[in-house]
Amino acid sequence: MESATATAPATGSIAHPDGERLMAPPDREARLVGWLCAGTGLALFAVMGLLGLTMRLTQAEVLGVSDEWFYRIMTLHGSGMLAGILLALMGGIWYVLKSVAELSFTRMLVSYAAMVLGAVVVLVSVVFGGFGAGWTFLSPLPFLPAEAWDTWAAAAYFIGLMLVGVSFLVFCIDVLTTLTRTYGGLSGALGVRFLRDRDDNPPPPQVIAATAVTAQGTLASAVGSTILIALLGKSIDSGVELDALWAKNLTYFFGHSYANLIIYLGAGMIYVLLPRYAGRQWKTTKPLAYGWLATLLLVTTAYGHHLYMDFVQPGAASVIATVSSSAAALPVAVVTVYTGVMLVWGSRYRWTLASVLIYLGFAGWTIGGVGAVIDSLIPINFRFHNTLWVPAHFHTYLMLGAVFWVMAFLVHMLERAAGRPASERVAKASVGAMVLGGYGLVGAWYASGALGVPRRYSVQPVDTEVYSAVASACVALFAVGFLLVLFEVGRLALAARGGAGRGSGAAAPPPIAGAAAAAGPAPARPALTSPLQIGTVVAIAVAASFALLPGISAATEGNVQMHHLAHAVQYLYGIALGIAFGSTPSIFRRLAPRWTGAAIAAGIIGSTAMLLAMVPAIYEPLQDDDVLHSLYHVGVVALGVITGFGAALLGPTTGKLLAVLSVGMGLMYAAGVTGG
């Protein structure tokens, strides 16, 4: 297969000779979003990384941080890292999607602002309120703090995380709506039509990746909102009782999905960035489309591995989680990483700081994935659960995978803007320090985990401090490498300000056919696209009001869960009316798509308010007055109408998804909130 001799890449250029034409030049909005998200994300990473080092030094008994502050720092580290890396890679995928889909700049800014605000509120709850229940906030720990924090701090933390969720949800809905409108609905954008040989011009790979991630992200956000709102409700009224197993399921579904989607967002971005250095296009193939369909399913069903040691969890859930967790490795190993290495192989790959980090990200993802699969096997988890093996594996694919890609993204933009690659000496030194330090850190953790050292201990078991000392030294080495990257980022930024790079008048070469298959969006369509669909939904509303509701209402006496179920059905009734009304051609024509932003807001506010309305402190004062009580239930229906109306304007895919998930939130709440 080899056709030529080994040769050194050309110097002086940033991209591969063929690479420049494989990526459409980002427009101003794409660049702005890129700078904002990658810059803010890396700044958060830097601060949270320092907090991580503080924890290691405390465990090594070098620093004397108190227990209170250790667990606050631990909570902040987990939440802040998640928000920062997620934000950076949301910006990354947006950057590579913008040239192939007309995404809304305004809504991306709203998403950015919500994430930053959420991070600030989390910071306040932890630093000033003392909240330290960990990012997993397993109920009822936030309400039994052993005098370490006040309830308001817990409430603030939940609001902060809800804002993070709102940020990601706005991003997901907007991206999913735009991509499905542009690429022939969900089946077109996911590549299903292509798989069925009904699409000769499949979407670019980053579109398929983004569609899968945003669809799953919408689901994860709905689940996350449900548990966070329920917890917020308990902060408002201590009479609210949450089932511990239910809370764990929802919390881990939310957290697992978000943490997973971070790396999958990164993969979608890499589909576009890597070809620039390899000079070979990352094409949409059938294995790629099958891989993302599998990923969409498997990310959804794998979360149960967090609950293996909850033996009361139904056994089938653990079996499904085991199979899914291992199977999730297949699309990574057989499609994305495999194709990435294939494209690099024999390409005269152009090694710059950005492209080295892209390549190393594959290694981190793969090695960390092996550690994850090992821990997802039940007999092994029986001996490794909540030991340091767990942070070892997820730091391998997040710190040495996703964060490498975030750095690569920022450096890529800067190298492009500056018109020159990063200094080779700095690149070698920084990457060398980060690889040695990073793998040293996770190596110390893997060893500690195998020895049974628990995670999340401010004071580690006797005689294991040495592992923390080694880990601390390794983190410090990683930090040196990271500072060198920042130093080079600064130099490249100065060069870019000098106007040396592209975008300052240099004409981009013509793109290779298919590299930027920008398609215009199809005309907007309502959620319900035919009279039959509208009729069906109205029939559901009628069924809810005449058949379902009376029976449930009769059972509500003395049964809180049935009472909440009655609320969910009233809400369903409202959603059915709203989506049917908003989908009628005359209404829809007048409002869509100018009101897309308002439609997203209606969906989020409607579902949030519906759950909050179930807090006893809100509805109990109204129950003694028949008129007010009736108005209250009319209000629940009205919230449904608002949600449904918003869903109608968001089109067939996102609209229906939003409507179903909103009702699902009510049903989930009814299943798990047992008091109040």
Partner 1 sequence: MGDALLDPSYDGFQIAVAVVFALIAVSLALFFAFAARQAGREMSLEAVTEAAYRARPLWLAFLAIVLGTIVCVTLFFTPYRPDTAAASATVKVVGGQFYWTMDPKSVPAGSDVIFEVTAADVNHGFGVYNPTGQLIGNVQAMPGYTNDLELSLDEPGTYLVSCLEFCGLKHHDMAAEFEVTEE
Please give the residues from 106 up to 165 whose contact with partner 1 meets the rule CB under 8 A.
132-134, 136, 138, 140-141, 144-146, 148
Q: Does residue 181 contact residue 522 with C-beta atoms inside 8 Å?
A: yes
- Selected from 303, 349, 478, 645, the binder of partner 1 by CB under 8 A is 349
For residues 658 and 60, what is the distance between their CA atoms, to the nearest angstrom? 48
- Selected from 43, 120, 309, 631, the binder of partner 1 by CB under 8 A is 309
For residues 385 and 374, what is the distance between their CA atoms, to the nearest angstrom? 11
Which conformational region is residue 191 in: left (phi greater than 0), alpha (psi within -120 to 50 degrees), or beta?
left
CA 587 to chain centroid: 34
C-beta closer to partner 1: residue 449 or 574: 449
One-letter identity of residue 494: L
Phi (first) and psi of residue 204, to 5 degrees: -60, 155
For residues 42 and 300, what is the distance between their CA atoms, to the nearest angstrom? 28
Min separation Cβ 2 and partner 1, Å: 5
C-beta closer to partner 1: residue 367 or 587: 367
Total chain residues near partner 1 (CB under 8 A): 92
User: Within positions 32 to 91, which residues make up the interface with partner 1, using CB under 8 A?
Assistant: 67-68, 71
C-beta closer to partner 1: residue 211 or 366: 366
- Selected from 167, 211, 322, 608, the binder of partner 1 by CB under 8 A is 322
Interface with partner 1 includes 17 (CB under 8 A)? no
Min separation Cβ 97 and partner 1, Å: 25
Min separation Cβ 631 and partner 1, Å: 35
Min separation Cβ 272 and partner 1, Å: 18
- One DSSP character per residue, 112-157 reads HHHHHHHHHHHHHHHHTT---S-TT--TTGGG--TTSS-HHHHHHH
C-beta closer to partner 1: residue 34 or 449: 449
The two three-digit tokens of residue 157, written as one number: 């933390």
Q: Which long-range contacts (CB under 8 A, 24 or more apart) does 194-199 make?
A: 194/284, 194/286, 194/289, 195/286, 195/289, 195/290
User: Within positions 380 to 439, which residues make up the interface with partner 1, using CB under 8 A?
Assistant: 380, 382-387
For residues 248 and 489, what is the distance between their CA atoms, to the nearest angstrom? 41
C-beta closer to partner 1: residue 59 or 260: 59
CA dist 87 → 119, 166, 277 (Å): 11, 12, 24
User: Within positions 208 to 267, which residues make up the interface with partner 1, using CB under 8 A?
Assistant: 243-245, 248
Contact pattern for partner 1 over residues 86 through 105, marking x by CB under 8 A? --------------------
Min separation Cβ 345 and partner 1, Å: 5
Segment interacting with partner 1 (CB under 8 A) among 119-127, 258-266, 305-313, 498-506: 305-313
User: Within positions 357 to 376, which residues make up the interface with partner 1, using CB under 8 A?
Assistant: 359-360, 362-363, 366-367, 370-371, 373-374
User: Within positions 554 to 613, which residues make up the interface with partner 1, using CB under 8 A?
Assistant: none
Q: List residues bridging with 387 in a β-sheet.
A: 454
- Selected from 35, 105, 338, 487, the binder of partner 1 by CB under 8 A is 338
- What SS3 class is residue 673? strand
- Selected from 327, 429, 519, 609, the binder of partner 1 by CB under 8 A is 327
Interface with partner 1 includes 3 (CB under 8 A)? yes
CA dist 431 → 49, 425, 473 (Å): 17, 10, 16
Sequence-separated (6 or more) residues with CB below 8 Å from residue 41: 84, 85, 86, 87, 88, 89, 91, 406
User: Within positions 448 to 507, which residues make up the interface with partner 1, using CB under 8 A?
Assistant: 449-454, 456-461, 463-464
